[in-house]
Amino acid sequence: MKLVVIVGVLVFIGLLFGGFLASIMKIIFNKQTANLYLFASGILIGIVVFMLVPEAMGHYNRLGLIIGILGGVSFMLFLETNVLKSVNSDQLRPRMILSSFFLIIGIVFHNLPVGLMVGMELDSATWLLDGTLLGPFVIHQIPEGMALFVSFLAWTDTLSPFLITAFSLASFMILFIAIGHFVMDFTFKTKSVCMGIAIGTLGYASIHGIHYRRGSFSTSYIHLLLGVLFILIYTVLIKSH
């Protein structure tokens, strides 16, 4: 259990460091929150395209992945349809809060299968001795922390929502890892469906808030592409080490 908690603490630190990097990016973008938000959306799209999908295609059943992706997207569409009924679409702040909500949901569903599988593999030598799995897993939290920080920055100037969310996500990760480590042992097909759900929910969350951002088409895509390029470079650097 001690190792499970340690991994959860490292996840929390990774999210916080991502928020710290995002605060630096805020200065670089000269406090242009809309452009920074688009940059963060590009980061999430990059995570899905360059991290989750290639890894999933190489390690899981493709039919299970497709079923999971469709299920994840369908769930998010159902959730959005019901939540939007209580949101005034003419007001910006409620829509930004809604975008943060969907981002959190996407990350939770992404962390669920990942945490369970980490728990199942936690006793392996790769985790305990050389850290070749633990390192990338923790580093993977950094871009998610950046995206979360920027998402909250769009509608609040306080750090409390980000800190509470980061702590909650780390706590959920501890729970998921503990369940995977002490309770569950999924079949290969079940793992594939779970990973598909992770891709579908996080992928939906990554593009959900883009249409809320006003601005020229070319400007929006420049900042989106910058975020995607950031993750591409990030991925290449991580793999090179």
Taking only the tens place, the pLDDT of each residue in 35-70 is 777 787 788 888 888 888 888 888 889 999 999 999
Question: What is the rounded CA–CA span in Å between residue 153 and residue 131?
Answer: 33
Does the pTM exceed 0.75? Answer: yes
| The predicted structure's pLDDT at residue 79 | 80
Place of tokens 């007001």: 91
Instruction: Say if residue 233's pLDDT is above 80.
Output: yes
Sign of dihedral through CA atoms 167, 137, 63, 225? positive
Q: Higher-confidence residue: 92 or 167?
A: 167
| pLDDT score for 5 | 87
CA gyration radius for the chain? 17
Alpha helices for 140-216 (secondary structure H): 141-153, 160-182, 188-208
Q: Whole-angstrom Cα distance, residue 22 to residue 150? A: 7
Comparing 29-38, 56-65, 126-135, 179-188, the range with the smallest average pLDDT is 126-135
| DSSP structural state of residue 183 | T
